[in-house]
């Protein structure tokens, strides 16, 4: 079924080329062979899965001729580049469907997303409705079944301009302005031709399942002075099963949306007058925050950290010393001026901590020094990027900086890693991966601080820690920070959604910039290594994650309310008060539902508020000095004396079960 591409002249190729596969195997093929035909020569099954190809480090159409020796990686749905090629090609298919139903439509751009694709288009005055979405979906499906090839054609600029002038698409003409002759390609599938640099999947038949997910407005080039275009979103899959799984996950994610749950459970809110991206933590949210900080403080105290507290602002000169200014200025709030000096809201806690290190002379006996703070930082995120608690402008960070000698580094880094694993266990995070970003020796002194030995040494030590502790990790070359290797910690919620929790950073540079020193055993000054770490990330992101992870049903220790007393009638209010007083004395967070409502309604509402324990009190309970205990989601779990219940719940809270 995979013939030579339409329109391509068959040429006689006699030369052979060497193709190197990812496992290092080298095979010979005729010059001009395509990745798709190479896949076919391996197996038909593989060929059916090949979406694109990585040829000498560049992602290409799998149908493009390879004319010289090359390294080759066949890209399938399981490769991020394969997936994005699939989704981008689906955007072309969507455009074809739109044009076939609404001729005269003009197109801007149609990129892939993390989860699907969109295309921006000018439909004139027309507003799409749900029925039309259905119709477009069906049309896309029909077109997909035609198995049309995505045919690539290099085209002179003049010809491209002529094509879109005749078509009357000023948006594509605008795109063409920025392109140079000799670099312009058209792709055609079926009756639709687009200006695009590619790559695309071999043909439309690979797209087996389609869902158009959303219609939105988008200003041309993101500028609100420009015309508003229609942005049509969709997602597509190589099998129907994958679409079904996606839809189920979407449904579940909607129920667990942290913005919805945060409102229902009184965790946080936003207010226009306070400002975008500045969450207000409500009483229930403040309890969750305090419990997390309690956990962090206990854990850090046990691990030998010392707590510090620092101001939210600092003079410009501090950030010039740290190097955050001018490089990071776009991510900071604009400065305020006072007594002729510029002050900035802090975007990082590090510089303040370094000043605490420098405040008193240090010797090797003071090392390692671990300074911890739940520090409040302010970062400028564009308003379009703000998203619930996930992207905010004010964040509370589980921050600490560890100052240590090279000899202490391994031990210290290992302890940080252990802390992560401890937290993952407490929060039931079963799936996580550490992404270790390394330097590129060729870029030392440019992209990376010029410390070749230190880079290799610390990278090795970090790797050793990850191996020894059996922590799942992947290595990413050439993505380290300027001043040292870093680890991004990725975690997955119970419904399988990925979150980036935090970044750990090894730092060779800041110590020197701040002239931090300690006296070593030979009485010589030495610059400490610095580890930046934040295992619980920020309250904002982590609580957003936890809301989804637990679907709002926090474990007892984290619950804003541990228990609610539900008296059956006013007759038992006195007994309810006695029980409440006794529970509160032992630290149980408990309230009484004193309303004159029916008990059934009280139970239902407590269930909906996801309160872990409900204590029903009536005649029998009062006479026996007992409580009828219900567990959220489980129903009646039996009757207990007040002391029995206290012992059970305080155990559960203490152990953070």
Residues interacting with Zn ion, by CB under 5 A? 196, 350, 532
Tell me the backbone φ, ψ of residue 101, rounded to 5 degrees.
-95, -35
- Residue 307 CA to residue 398 CA, distance in Å, equals 11
Q: How far is the CB of 90 from Zn ion (least distance, A)?
A: 10
Q: How far is the CB of 88 from Zn ion (least distance, A)?
A: 5
Q: How far is the CB of 401 from Zn ion (least distance, A)?
A: 6
Helices 157-167/170-177 angle, 10° precision: 160
Q: Which two tokens stand for residue 159?
A: 């010809």
Is the C-alpha dihedral spanning 340, 346, 350, 352 positive or negative? positive
Indicate the burial class of 384 (C-beta count within 10 angstroms; 0-12, 13-18, 19 or more): exposed
Pick from 497, 333, 303: which is nearest to 412 by CA? 303
- Cβ neighbour number for residue 1 with a 10 Å cutoff: 10
Nearer residue to Zn ion within complex by CB, 210 or 350: 350
CA dihedral 247, 250, 252, 254 (to 10 degrees): -140
Nearer residue to Zn ion within complex by CB, 535 or 552: 535
Nearer residue to Zn ion within complex by CB, 532 or 564: 532
Pick from 270, 76, 90, 262: which is nearest to 189 by CA? 90
Q: How far is the CB of 198 from Zn ion (least distance, A)?
A: 6
Nearer residue to Zn ion within complex by CB, 119 or 237: 119
- Residue 480 CA to residue 210 CA, distance in Å, equals 38
- Residue 337 CA to residue 633 CA, distance in Å, equals 55
Q: How far is the CB of 320 from Zn ion (least distance, A)?
A: 17
Nearer residue to Zn ion within complex by CB, 327 or 387: 327
Nearer residue to Zn ion within complex by CB, 196 or 367: 196
Nearer residue to Zn ion within complex by CB, 350 or 372: 350
Which helix (DSSP H) or strand (DSSP E) does residue 315 occupy? strand 313-315
Q: How far is the CB of 87 from Zn ion (least distance, A)?
A: 10
Q: Which two tokens stand for residue 169?
A: 């698409």
Pick from 29, 50, 51, 23: which is nearest to 39 by CA? 50
Quote the DSSP letter at residue 448.
B
Write down how long the chain is.
657
Residue given tokens 């240590």 in the structure block? 404
Q: Cα–chain-centroid distance for residue 542? A: 11
Tell me the backbone φ, ψ of residue 356, rounded to 5 degrees.
-70, -40
Phi-psi category of residue 334: left, alpha or beta, with phi > 0 → left and psi -120 to 50 → alpha:
beta
Q: How far is the CB of 175 from Zn ion (least distance, A)?
A: 12
Nearer residue to Zn ion within complex by CB, 55 or 534: 534
Nearer residue to Zn ion within complex by CB, 73 or 532: 532
- Residue 217 CA to residue 499 CA, distance in Å, equals 27
Q: How far is the CB of 506 from Zn ion (least distance, A)?
A: 11
Q: Pairing mode, if any, of strands 151-154 and 58-60?
A: unpaired
Q: How far is the CB of 230 from Zn ion (least distance, A)?
A: 19
Pick from 366, 350, 614: which is nearest to 506 by CA? 350
CA angle at 249 for the pair 245 and 251, rounded to the nearest 5°: 120
Helices 642-654/573-585 angle, 10° precision: 40
Nearer residue to Zn ion within complex by CB, 532 or 610: 532
Nearer residue to Zn ion within complex by CB, 196 or 369: 196
Nearer residue to Zn ion within complex by CB, 74 or 350: 350
Tell me the backbone φ, ψ of residue 78, rounded to 5 degrees.
-80, -10
- Residue 657 CA to residue 590 CA, distance in Å, equals 18
Nearer residue to Zn ion within complex by CB, 318 or 649: 318
Nearer residue to Zn ion within complex by CB, 345 or 614: 345
Nearer residue to Zn ion within complex by CB, 107 or 410: 107
Q: How far is the CB of 531 from Zn ion (least distance, A)?
A: 9
The answer for residues whose C-beta is within 8 angstroms of residue 385's C-beta and 6 or more apart is 391
Residue-wise DSSP of 201-244 = -SBGGG--EEEEEEEEEEEGGG-TTSPEEEEEEEEEESSHHHHH
> Per DSSP, which regions of 495-542 are E strands?
498-507, 518-519, 525-526, 529-533
- Residue 513 CA to residue 66 CA, distance in Å, equals 50
Q: How far is the CB of 349 from Zn ion (least distance, A)?
A: 6
């Amino acid at each position: 079924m995979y013939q030579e591409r339409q329109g391509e002249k068959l040429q006689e190729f006699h030369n052979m080329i060497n193709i190197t596969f990812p496992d290092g195997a080298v095979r010979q093929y005729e010059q001009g062979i395509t990745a798709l035909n190479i896949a076919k020569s391996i197996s038909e099954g593989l060929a059916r899965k090949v979406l694109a190809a990585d040829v000498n480090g560049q992602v290409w159409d799998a149908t493009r001729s390879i004319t010289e020796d090359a390294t080759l990686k066949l890209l399938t749905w399981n490769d991020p580049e394969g997936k994005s090629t699939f989704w981008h090609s689906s955007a072309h298919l969507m455009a074809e469907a739109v044009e076939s139903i609404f001729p005269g439509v003009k197109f801007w751009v149609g990129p892939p997303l993390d989860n699907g694709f969109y295309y921006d288009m000018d439909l004139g005055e027309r507003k799409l409705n749900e029925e039309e979405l259905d119709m477009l979906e069906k049309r896309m499906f029909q077109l997909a079944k035609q198995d049309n090839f995505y045919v690539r054609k290099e085209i002179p600029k003049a010809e491209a301009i002529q094509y879109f002038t005749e078509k009357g698409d000023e948006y594509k003409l605008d795109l063409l302005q920025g392109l140079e002759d000799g670099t312009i390609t058209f792709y055609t599938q079926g009756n639709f031709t687009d200006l695009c640099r590619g790559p695309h999947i071999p043909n439309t038949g690979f797209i087996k399942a389609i869902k158009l997910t959303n219609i939105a407005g988008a200003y041309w080039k993101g500028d609100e002075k420009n015309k508003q275009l229609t942005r049509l979103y969709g997602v597509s899959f190589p099998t129907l099963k994958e679409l079904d799984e996606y839809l189920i996950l979407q449904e579940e994610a909607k129920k667990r949306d942290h913005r919805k749950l945060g409102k229902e459970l009184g965790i946080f809110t936003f207010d226009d007058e306070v400002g975008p991206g500045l969450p207000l933590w409500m009483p229930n949210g403040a309890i969750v925050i305090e419990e997390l900080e309690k956990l962090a403080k206990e854990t850090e105290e046990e691990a030998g950290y010392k707590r510090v507290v620092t101001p939210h602002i600092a003079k410009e000169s501090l950030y010039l010393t740290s190097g955050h200014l001018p490089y990071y200025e776009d991510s900071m709030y604009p400065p305020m001026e006072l007594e002729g000096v510029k002050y900035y809201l802090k975007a990082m806690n590090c510089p303040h901590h370094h000043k605490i290190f420098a405040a008193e002379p240090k010797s090797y006996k003071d090392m390692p020094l671990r300074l911890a703070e739940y520090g409040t930082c302010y970062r400028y995120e564009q308003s379009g990027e703000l998203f619930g608690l996930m992207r905010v402008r004010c964040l509370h960070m589980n921050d600490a900086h560890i100052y240590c000698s090279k000899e202490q580094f391994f031990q210290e880094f290992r302890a940080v890693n252990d802390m992560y694993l401890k937290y993952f266990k407490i929060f039931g995070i079963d799936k996580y991966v550490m992404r270790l970003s390394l330097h590129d020796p060729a870029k030392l002194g440019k992209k990376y601080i010029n410390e070749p030995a230190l880079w290799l040494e610390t990278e090795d030590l970090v790797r050793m820690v990850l191996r020894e502790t059996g922590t799942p990790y992947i290595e990413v070359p050439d993505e380290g920070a300027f001043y040292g290797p870093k680890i991004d910690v990725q975690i997955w919620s119970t419904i399988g959604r990925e979150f980036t929790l935090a970044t750990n950073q090894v730092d060779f540079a800041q110590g020197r910039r701040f002239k931090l020193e300690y006296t070593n055993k030979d009485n010589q000054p030495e610059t400490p290594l610095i580890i930046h770490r934040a295992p619980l990330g920020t309250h904002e992101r982590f609580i957003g994650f936890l809301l989804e992870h637990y679907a709002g049903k926090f474990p007892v220790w984290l619950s804003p309310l541990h228990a609610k007393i539900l008296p059956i009638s006013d007759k038992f209010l006195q007994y309810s008060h006695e029980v409440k007083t006794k529970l509160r004395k032992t630290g149980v967070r408990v309230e009484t539902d004193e309303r004159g409502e029916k008990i059934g309604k009280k139970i239902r509402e407590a269930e909906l508020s996801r309160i872990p324990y409900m204590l029903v009190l009536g005649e029998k309970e009062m006479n026996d000095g007992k409580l009828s205990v219900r567990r959220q989601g489980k129903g009646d779990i039996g009757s207990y004396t007040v002391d029995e219940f206290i012992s059970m719940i305080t155990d559960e809270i203490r152990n953070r079960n």
